[in-house]
Chains A and B, each alone.
Chain A
Amino acid sequence: MKVLVAMSGGVDSSVAAAELKAAGHEVVGVTMRLWGGESDTGCCSVSDVDDARRVAQQLNIDHLVFNFSDDFDKHVVAPYVQAHVDGITPNPCIECNRHLKFDRLSERARLLGFDAVATGHHARIERDDEGTLRLTRGADDAKDQSYVVHMLDQAELAYTMFPVGHLTKAQVRERAVELGLRTATKPDSQDVCFISKTGGRETFLGNRIPFRKAEVVNEDGTPAGKVEALELVTIGQRKGLGIPGGGPKQYVVEVDTPNARVVIGEEASLYRNSVDVAQIIWSDSGDLERLMTTGDVLVQSSAHGAAVSATVEILGPDSLRIHWAQPQRRIAPGQSIVLYNTINSYVLAGGIACQDSTKVSVH
């Protein structure tokens, strides 16, 4: 097959390219230039492009650079900034996968005559007994990335390859060492690529939006303190609220953006019995019907969080309510929520947590 492999300059995508080449595919590597601004962490710095290019040269495959910075601004950076204004949690890496890697890039790959797009994500694509493609967790539990690529539907799964999904991270690094790839010992990228380590989120947002001062209140409405930037406050946060120590631990339980108020309370106030999820994308449309009969699922609501038991109540074709088996800490609105099958092996669907979910009355 003719495969276009997205090479970030990291070890996973380097080995992904090597695996494809070894399997006899006709491979072309591409590095997407996404972020044009300053960065010291990122996926698209010149030195990362250098690494990707040198690995491609070593593997004797062509290497290209595609400039998708306009699309990245539009689909990732601008929504990231707007989410902070609106008081919801952004998912920049997921939005980048959704709009750049598995939309913009795969669209171009199709146009150029490629049979598939590959990335270095730790996830697997397997066909079940009924012939359905299943986005399956990567072989390395600790590195599994099925959560961040959950948005792939059947058509997209059919056009996608994850050549390192069956390997552990340690095995990926071993392969890279065996092949003498210069990225073998390169550390994993952890952070949002367009936020610099030195300036951080505060500087990045501060250059783009005015911060609003907000009052911090207790659940009964009595004043408790002040914060300088409402946009930087997250549900569940404990520090930086300007409240004195002593007494029970206080958490942000509500960010009231319209009224510029932050509500704090004890941990118990964070727990919920359910959460509504919108903008659902089904991995396979058949799962919608199946879940209408038996709604048991496992639910993961952060990139490396544990999947917990819940029952799904279907509200519509792209919205549903999750009833937790045990009350769970409130999920910040905007957070991506991914449903897995009951044995926690593959993705059923994913969507975005909605604004409110009713508080647990008794804990």
Chain B
Amino acid sequence: MGTYLDHAASTPMRAEAIEAMTPYLDAMYANPSGSHRFAREARKALDEARDLVAATLGCKPGEVVFTSGGTEGDNHAILGAVRRLGGVAVCPAAEHHAVLHCVEHVNGVVVRVNSVGTVDLDDLQRVLEEATDEQPITVVSVMAVNNEVGSITPMRDVARIVRKYAPNAILHTDAVQAACWVDLREITPLVDALSLSAHKFGGPKGVGVMVIKTGKNLEPLIFGGGQERDRRSGTHNVSGIIATAKALEVTDQTRAEETERVTKLRDRLVDEIRAQVDGVLETVPREHRVPGVAHLCFSGLENEALLFLLDQADVYASAASACASGAMEPSHVLEAMGIERSWSNGALRLSLGHTTTDAEIDLAVSAIVSAVNQLRR
């Protein structure tokens, strides 16, 4: 196994989560919606998982909806609001495509972002103020932490503006990249809906968590057996949900110490690279960024070439998002931030997490410095 610096893409599962889910892949296979004793055992585990998730998020258990992942949560919030309430959806330009493409799909409004990649609060206010009674804004979706550059949105300010200028709108946040680094109890009370993805915090892929606050009605995306209080039909992914709850609990319990540890690693990574090569832009100042993300732009480089050399050196990182073919697309986030192509073509995201070690940072620094030197030769 090489040096894994792509935690923002996916994290290794936490051992505690694997241990917790294993019985439910094997002996405890009943459908929790069943009416027999065996089913009730699965139901109990599911209910306990929901309580645990609610406690770490700071919401009521009945407000927790288990989904298939972050993308489903984002789709549910935006499409569900517009289908139920009509009106207009709003999001900033640097959102994940799971939000951005939904908003574009329903002909919503995209708001500018500032130079650190978070929503431009003045532009948000302008858009909300300009809405008409015929075309009211019914959902505003603003990510808590940007998935590419790691910038942290001041959600308190966002909530203040939305409550003042669009008091009837549903405020949703894609908090997928926040879970590891931000106490979600500080975000959940500010919003009406929130989406998480389990595999970004040591849980399994294919499971997500959504918070939908009591009294906030969204049209379901998936109809069927009426699970999750009619908000999300489909047999529960029992083992996945149990692992998710456990992973979230461990993440929550270790967040403070991990934040301190990973910040040091991240800062050393960036400082040592910058000490050894010129023409490096630290895309977002550290004070605006979560500990897990180091986003750098190398002038005059092409990230496909850089990633290939890092891959050859067993250092696993990423640049922007990939399209269906697997090709790198120019980053819409960096474009929205106003970063010139001569810099953004050489973008590199190094994302750290709960398994990242000092030794990995050493290997990464040496591989990156050598790759950059080769490409600039």
Partner of A65, one of B309, B311, B325, B374: B325
In the complex, are the beta carbons of B374 and A33 less than 8 A apart? no
- Interface residue A336 (Cβ < 8 Å from any Cβ of B): no
Q: Which chain A positions have C-beta within 8 A of B324?
A: 46
- Interface residue A204 (Cβ < 8 Å from any Cβ of B): no
Partner of A49, one of B309, B326, B329: B326
Q: Which chain A positions have C-beta within 8 A of B309?
A: 112
Q: Which chain B positions have C-beta within 8 A of A46?
A: 324-325
Q: Nearest chain A CB to B367's CB is how many angstroms away? A: 14
In the complex, are the beta carbons of B305 and A67 less than 8 A apart? no
Q: A111-B375, A113-B374 are in contact. Are A44 and B325 (CB under 8 A)?
A: yes
- Interface residue B38 (Cβ < 8 Å from any Cβ of A): no
A44 CA to B325 CA in the complex, in Å?
A: 8
Q: Which chain A positions have C-beta within 8 A of B360?
A: none
In the complex, are the beta carbons of A108 and B305 less than 8 A apart? yes
Partner of B327, one of A67, A108, A113: A67
Partner of A33, one of B311, B323, B375: B323
In the complex, are the beta carbons of B305 and A65 less than 8 A apart? no
Q: Nearest chain A CB to B312's CB is how many angstroms away? A: 8
Q: A111-B375, A113-B374 are in contact. Are A64 and B308 (CB under 8 A)?
A: yes
- Interface residue B183 (Cβ < 8 Å from any Cβ of A): no
In the complex, are the beta carbons of B308 and A67 less than 8 A apart? no
B311-345 CB contacts (< 8 Å) to partner A: 311, 322-329
Q: Which residue of B lies closest to A68 (CB)?
A: B327
- Interface residue B304 (Cβ < 8 Å from any Cβ of A): yes
Q: Nearest chain B CB to A360's CB is how many angstroms away? A: 50
In the complex, are the beta carbons of A67 and B374 less than 8 A apart? no
A65 CA to B326 CA in the complex, in Å?
A: 6
Q: Nearest chain A CB to B148's CB is how many angstroms away? A: 17
In the complex, are the beta carbons of A111 and B305 less than 8 A apart? yes
Q: Nearest chain B CB to A54's CB is how many angstroms away? A: 12
Q: Which residue of B lies closest to A32 (CB)?
A: B327
Q: Which residue of A lies closest to B304 (CB)?
A: A66
Chain B interface size band reads: 10 to 19
In the complex, are the beta carbons of A33 and B305 less than 8 A apart? no
In the complex, are the beta carbons of B327 and A65 less than 8 A apart? yes
Q: Which residue of A lies closest to B324 (CB)?
A: A46
In the complex, are the beta carbons of A112 and B325 less than 8 A apart? no
- Interface residue A173 (Cβ < 8 Å from any Cβ of B): no
Q: Which chain B positions have C-beta within 8 A of A69?
A: 327
A196 CA to B252 CA in the complex, in Å?
A: 52
A180 CA to B374 CA in the complex, in Å?
A: 38
Q: Nearest chain A CB to B45's CB is how many angstroms away? A: 38
Q: Which chain A positions have C-beta within 8 A of B375?
A: 111
- Interface residue A84 (Cβ < 8 Å from any Cβ of B): no
Q: Nearest chain A CB to B371's CB is how many angstroms away? A: 10
- Interface residue A137 (Cβ < 8 Å from any Cβ of B): no
Q: Nearest chain B CB to A39's CB is how many angstroms away? A: 12
In the complex, are the beta carbons of B325 and A31 less than 8 A apart? yes
Q: Nearest chain B CB to A72's CB is how many angstroms away? A: 12
Q: Nearest chain A CB to B329's CB is how many angstroms away? A: 7
Q: Mark B188-212, 1 if CB is under 8 A from A, else 0.
A: 0000000000000000000000000
B85-109 CB contacts (< 8 Å) to partner A: none
Q: Nearest chain B CB to A31's CB is how many angstroms away? A: 7
Q: Which chain B positions have C-beta within 8 A of A33?
A: 323, 325, 327
- Interface residue A53 (Cβ < 8 Å from any Cβ of B): yes
Q: Nearest chain A CB to B341's CB is how many angstroms away? A: 9
A99-145 CB contacts (< 8 Å) to partner B: 108, 111-113
Q: A67-B328, A67-B329 are in contact. Are A112 and B323 (CB under 8 A)?
A: no
Q: Which chain A positions have C-beta within 8 A of B325?
A: 31, 33, 44, 46, 49, 65
Q: Mark A315-351, 1 if CB is under 8 A from B, else 0.
A: 0000000000000000000000000000000000000
A64 CA to B326 CA in the complex, in Å?
A: 8
Q: Which chain A positions have C-beta within 8 A of B374?
A: 111, 113
Q: Nearest chain B CB to A100's CB is how many angstroms away? A: 14
Q: Nearest chain B CB to A205's CB is how many angstroms away? A: 25
Q: Which residue of B lies closest to A69 (CB)?
A: B327
A284 CA to B267 CA in the complex, in Å?
A: 54
A311 CA to B55 CA in the complex, in Å?
A: 87
Q: Mark A24-45, 1 if CB is under 8 A from B, else 0.
A: 0000000101000000000010
**Which of B322, B323, B329 has the most CB atoms of chain A within a 10 A radius of its CB?**
B323
Q: Nearest chain A CB to B325's CB is how many angstroms away? A: 4
Q: Which residue of B lies closest to A53 (CB)?
A: B326
B295-312 CB contacts (< 8 Å) to partner A: 302, 304-305, 308-309, 311
Chain A residues proximal to chain B, CB less than 8 Å? 31, 33, 44, 46, 49, 53, 62, 64-67, 69, 108, 111-113
List 15 contacting pairs A-B, 8 Å CB cutoff, sorted by A. A31-B325, A33-B323, A33-B327, A44-B325, A46-B324, A46-B325, A53-B326, A64-B304, A65-B325, A67-B304, A67-B323, A67-B328, A69-B327, A112-B305, A112-B308
Closest 5 CB pairs of A and B: A67-B327, A33-B327, A65-B326, A49-B325, A65-B327
Task: Name 17 extra pairs, CB < 8 A, besides A33-B325, A53-B326, A67-B304.
Answer: A46-B325, A49-B325, A49-B326, A64-B304, A64-B308, A65-B322, A65-B325, A65-B327, A69-B327, A108-B302, A108-B304, A108-B305, A111-B305, A111-B374, A111-B375, A112-B305, A113-B374
